[in-house]
Amino acid sequence: MTDYEIRRVTVGTLSTNCYIIANKETGDACVIDPGDNLTLIQDALHRMKAHCRLILLTHGHFDHILAVGDLRSERAPVCIHRADAHCLTERDMFSPLIPYDPRPFEEADYVFDKEGSYTVAGFTFYVLHTPGHTKGSVCYQFDDNLFTGDTLFKGGIGTLDFGGDADDMRASLQMLCKLPCDYTVYPGHDEKTTLSDEIATNPFLREFKRR
């Protein structure tokens, strides 16, 4: 188990959680969902004495990706699920509603097609495909930490209003509830929680509660 430091940076107009996972020994860092405010992210990296080596995206909505182009200038590879990869290379319904949309970006360096363990830029993690909020939503597992994007929040789940699917979300939540151990959950918005607490108290997970 690698010794990581995890730091949250809240960015953008929707107060999105961007996470920095830094290897304490090497200073190499993975940035999850750089949604905006590059300066805040760079300041956090500087305070952690870390350098961005990898960018992971939980899905393609604008509030999770707008700083990708600038952060990528450090040549950190960008990873996203194939079903949401188009969000990097084209504008969408949100573009007219936000002050500045820097897209289109370059294509992702890695696109995930299936669940499994991956090693990219020296980081090993597990990808869980959890469609529902978007078709390409994923959760990233680093040891006993689960980065859930807008699939699972503390006491809630992501909206289905913008390309979501209720049946997919239900299947994804059921799958998360069947994971064999507990995890610290780092969601795309609001505070961190644990998977066991969400199974016990989150109304959207009630029907899947372990018996």
SS3 assignment, position 7: strand
Question: Does residue 143 contact residue 182 with C-beta atoms inside 8 Å?
Answer: no
User: Which residue carries 């006491």 as its tokens?
Assistant: 155
192-203 pLDDT, tens digit each: 999 999 999 999
Question: Does residue 157 contact residue 169 with C-beta atoms inside 8 Å?
Answer: yes
Distance CA 65, CA 91 (A): 12
- Please report the DSSP string for 69-99 in residue order: HHHGGG---EEEEGGGTHHHHS--TTGGGSS
110-149 pLDDT, tens digit each: 999 999 999 999 999 999 999 999 999 999 999 999 999 9
How confident is the model at residue 162, as a pLDDT?
87
How confident is the model at residue 210, as a pLDDT?
59
For the sheet containing 4-11, what is the strand order? 4-11, 16-23, 28-32, 51-56, 78-81, 110-112
| Ramachandran area for residue 27 (φ above 0: left; ψ -120 to 50: alpha; else beta) | left
CA gyration radius, the chain: 16
DSSP type of residue 188: S
How confident is the model at residue 175, as a pLDDT?
96
Q: What are the phi and psi torsion angles at 49 (to 5°)?
A: 55, 45
**Residue segments in the chain with a per-residue pLDDT below the cut of 50:** 211
Domains assigned to the chain: 4-208 (3.60.15.10)
Find the DSSP H helices in 18-139: 38-47, 68-71, 86-89
Distance CA 132, CA 21 (A): 25
